[in-house]
Structure 1
Amino acid sequence: MADHLAQAVSAEETVVEHNNTYHPPRVPLLDTAAQSHPVAAVDERLATGKLLLFGLQHVLVMAAAPIASVFMMAKALGLSQALTINLLSATFVMCGLGSMLQSIGPRGIGARLPFIMLPGGAPVVLFILIAQQTNLQTAAGAVLLTGLAYFVLLPVFRRCLRFFPSLVVGTMLLLVSVNLVKVSGLLITGNPGTPGFAAPTNIFLAFATILFTVLFSRTLKGIWCQLAILLGLVAGTLAAAACGVFKVGTVALWPLFSAPVLLPFGLPQFDVVAALPLIIFSVISMVEATGQTVAIGEAVGKDIDQQRDVPKTIRGDAVMSLVGALFGTSLIVTSGENIGVVRATGVRSRFVTMVSGVILIVFGLLAPLTKLLSLVPEAVVGGTGVIVFAIVGIMGIDMLRRSDLRNHANMYILAVALCAGLLPILIPGLYVNFPPGVRMFLSNGVAMGAITAAALNFLFFHFGNKEKH
């Protein structure tokens, strides 16, 4: 059975539609020394010390996502402290294993690109809603069903990839950037109407973190310049400690180890109707994975064939979501956030994120380290995120520049897609009076913008009389 599956994957990957292949410009290798057999930047093996430092930089920038997702679940579902710690451990470990899987990419599962995998925000919310409407066992079963749905839907989705040219992907990246900058901004200010909203101390810490990052990037040289994001995060945390916001003394050193537990909620229960919201989201996740794969390919200077490479990314998401469900997590998917880190630092090696995966696993197993990370002020993390996620937007703008926006069709595709994507991002609750299933779909601005752009691209360039455009 396994051999037949491997042959099917191999056969699928040999199909290449050259008209829809995205070929980003070549970038110089990190090692400029003459080599008889040059190694692509994405495959370069850096020194151990550099791998550890660059890998840690990725982890610290992304660590807020798994912590926030678990705390959100624990608060909404009334989970015990012991179960919360266990789920936090499981989430870090699954993110680490997923990052290693995407970086190594064995047998067509994983993109062999510098990806970090994280629990998606929307899937966590859907997991909570399913658990509240049914129970935790059904929610875990819904994640398992969704992991299987990835494999069922992937062949159909793969046929649609030709409707995702650079105009569509650039629009998606720009919307991803706006959405993530907004999320980072809320980390800095808190939600409107809550106690301490827009506290001057938090705003000061965020801007101090940004300033430190810029200063390090401007004044330092070599590897230290490439570590500007990490150093800015550390400097911001020290500033928070000076302000009395970050207190390391509150971290308990016991228990020292925390390991994930198989089936923490008991045996999963399977309800296809209850799982539908997550299954629908799997399609949205595939759309996002397409843009992320193209974008990270461009950032590392690797030629991306959408028909070959995007399915690899999606298979990695599917496998890790299936494995994560067995340990109590929601969907574990590739993250667009680390694209900004890769572009900002210029470090393109996939072995960096492989080491990041190892570090995430260590953090998941060492409980005090996880607790220490959870104490880093959200304003500092938000300040770092604003820079990193804005860089993702710059990449989107760079892709859009390659399309002729004076062209009548391209102009309308971009304008309408931005309307569909920005409205739900900028106006929360825009679709609050719609049915829950429809509201969940329409409220995802990134997916709505990307799908709208792809649909209009089909309408203008693949349907009917195309010459008039």
Structure 2
Amino acid sequence: MTDTTYSDPNVTPPLVQAVPLGLQHVLAMFASNVTPSIIVAGAAGLAFGGPEQIYLIQMAMLFAGIATVFQTVGIGPVGARLPIMQGTSFAFVGVLAGVAATMGLSVALTACIIGGVVHFALGAFIKHLRWLFPPLVTGLVILTIGVYLIPVAIKYAAGGAADFQMEAESFGSLKHWSVALTVIVVALGVKFFTKGTLSASGILIGLLAGYVLAFALGMVNFAPVAGAAWITPISPLPYGFEFNLGAVIAVTLVSIVSAIETVGDASATAKAGAGRDATDEEISGATYADGLGTAIAGIFGGLPNTSFSQNVGIVGMTGIMSRHVVTIAGIIMIICGLIPKIGAVIASMPLPVLGGGVIVMFGMVAAAGLNVLAEEKMTRRTMIIIAVSLAFGLGLNLVPTAVQYLPGVIKTLATSAVAPTAMMAIGLNLILPKDPE
């Protein structure tokens, strides 16, 4: 499947090839797409496996599909019209989980809507902002996101995230860790000892193996699945509309970083599939699609969307650049999002199963940040920027009482990990003198 005929994004392989290829794109991103909604729902105090959590999972699938179609089919200037798969972004999890825990989902989702509008507006001049986000800055932000989320993964693997769960006797039990480690071992085994579709689906297969073991150990409750409907209408503003300036600023800052990431994915897709650079129109269209998908998702209870880098790898691996293949993947996600039974099955997944999966996922996010930083020469200036930015970003998040007397908006930003790291990295990179050539 490396025929150069398919280096044109407007060419479609025969359906017997296109449908399996579209499914492969879905399998590669499915677990990563629904995980942020599960984490934010837990932070908001929603019952694990309850109808509200199921609804958020549905919205993650539905609007990943819709945003993907925006990206591949396009509407006017919206959409790169490249084979870019959209999904719920991990970049926003830290900020949104904190906002949801302290202010509620209404504030978090309102911030997503406004952040999406700002993200959309970035499409008009994104190419002029790229100089603010060299690999040093973007790598630091991505690394911070991964490191910030790793403790959440460990808590899930041990059997809890909320205080009452971590205080239970079963927290950290051998049963919980045996399930989590099964997920990790199977996922890594499939990823590195198989090829093609199986390898791309390593995390999903690992989750299925852990799910089976958890079921055998009596950890799975199928009652919510039996009670879930086959079809349900979606609701606009399910938690209302509640504005908070700190939450909006925090989400907007992450949106800018997400936009830069999408620029990178659009460029990588064009390079991997067609051996060329992405055009300005494709980069702007990709950013518009990101923002529009995020804003509309927020209206209905979905979290922010972004391009998924792992799917860029599939384009490079198969050599098939067809955007219509990824459109098929988007349609599959839309169908999944409209069926609550599917969301209920995902929501029935015990925390240790999810924990095993996200240990790998969040670790990979951190590793991706290190990979981006590797593009920078490790001079004394570079190392100081990394050291100070990480110390502020992660330090204030770990010790939030250190800034307890700051006003609410500023405190929210200061303890979000991502925002202070990004602002410190950008500021130091602009202020500190460049190394002599």
What is the TM-score of this pair, normalised by structure 1?
A: 0.73
CA contact (8 A) 1:96 1:356 kept: yes
The gaps in structure 2 that reach 5 residues or longer are none
1:241-390 paired onto structure 2 within 5 Å: 241-248=215-222, 251-252=225-226, 254-264=228-238, 274-275=244-245, 277-291=247-261, 293-294=263-264, 297-298=267-268, 301=271, 311-327=284-300, 329=301, 331-334=303-306, 338-339=308-309, 354-390=327-363
The Cα shift of 1:416 comes to 1.7
Q: 1:355 to 1:102 in 2, by over 3 A?
A: same
Contact 1:167 1:403 in 2 (8 A): yes
Deviation at 1:209, TM superposition (A): 0.9
Aligned-partner SS, 1:116? strand
Give the one of 199, 208, 211 matched to 1:234. 208
CA contact 1:168–1:450 (8 Å) conserved in 2: yes
Amino acid at match of 1:367: P
Query: By how many angstroms is 1:141 displaced?
Result: 6.2
Out of 180, 185, 191, the residue aligned to residue 211 of structure 1 is 185
Query: 1:4 — aligned with what?
Result: none
CA 1:157 to 1:420, structure 2 compared with 1: closer, same or farther past 3 Å? farther
Post-superposition shift, 1:160? 3.9
How far the C-alpha of 1:342 sits from its partner, in A, is: 5.7
Report whether the alignment pairs 1:445 with 2:420: no
Q: Per the alignment, in what secondary structure is the counterpart of residue 220 of structure 2?
A: coil
Amino acid at match of 2:255: S
Shift of 1:371: 0.7
- In structure 2, the CA distance between the partners of 1:371 and 1:313, relative to structure 1 (3 Å rule), is same
How far apart in 2 are the matches of 1:259 and 1:157?
A: 36
Letter of the 1:202 partner, please give it: H
Q: 1:153-192, aligned counterparts within 5 Å?
A: 159-189=128-158, 190-191=160-161
How far, CA to CA, are the matches of 1:376 and 1:345 in structure 2?
30
Task: Tell me which moved more, 120-129 or 451-460.
Answer: 120-129
The equivalent residue for 2:65 is 96
The answer to whether 1:396 aligns with 2:373 is: no
Q: Paired residue for 2:7?
A: 39
1:224 corresponds to = 198
The separation in 1 between residues aligned to 2:416 and 2:304, in whole angstroms, is: 18
Confirm or deny: 8 A CA contact 1:299 1:342 kept in the other structure: yes
Alpha carbons 2:78, 2:286 under 8 Å: kept: yes
**2:394 maps to what in 1?**
422
For the residues of structure 2 that align with 1:177 and 1:308, how far apart are their CA atoms?
Answer: 31
Match of 1:334, SS state, is strand
Unaligned runs of 5+ in 1: 1-30
Alpha-carbon shift at residue 57 of structure 1 (Å): 3.8
Q: Structure 1 residues 347, 388: CA separation in 2 closer, same or farther (over 3 Å shift)?
A: farther
Report the equivalent of 2:26: 55
Counterpart Cα distance in 2 of 1:249 and 1:264: 24
Give, as a single letter, the amino acid of the residue that structure 1 aligns with 2:428: L
Structure 1 residues 420 and 105, CA gap change in structure 2 (3 angstroms):
farther
Contact 1:147 1:318 in 2 (8 A): yes
Q: Which of 85, 108, 115 is equivalent to 1:114?
A: 85
C-alpha separation between the residues in 2 aligned to 1:174 and 1:44?
37
Correspondence for 1:458 among 427, 430, 437: 430
Shift of 1:351: 5.9
Question: Counterparts of 1:414 and 1:42 in 2: how far apart (Å)?
Answer: 42
Residue among 75, 78, 89 paired with 2:46: 75
Amino acid at match of 1:449: T
Q: Whole-Å Cα distance in 2 between the matches of residues 433 and 326 of structure 1? A: 33
CA deviation vs aligned residue, 1:85-104 (integer Å, no higher than 9, x gap): 65654454233312332454
Which piece of structure 1 moves more, 92-101 or 247-256?
Answer: 247-256
Q: Could you say if the C-alpha distance between residues 233 and 430 of structure 1 is closer, same or farther in structure 2, counting changes exceeding 3 Å?
A: farther
RMSD of aligned alpha carbons: 3.9
1:115 alignment partner AA:
Q
Structure 1 Cα separation of the partners of residues 313 and 393 of structure 2: 24
- Distance, in Å, in 1 between the alignment partners of 2:186 and 2:108 is 42
* Matches of 2:359 and 2:179, distance apart in 1: 13
Count of equivalent residues: 417
Counterpart-to-counterpart distance in 2, 1:198 and 1:261: 38
For 1:233 and 1:452, locate their aligned partners in 2 and report how far apart those are by CA, in whole Å. 37
Provide the TM-score with structure 2 as the length reference.
Answer: 0.78
Identity of aligned residues (%): 22
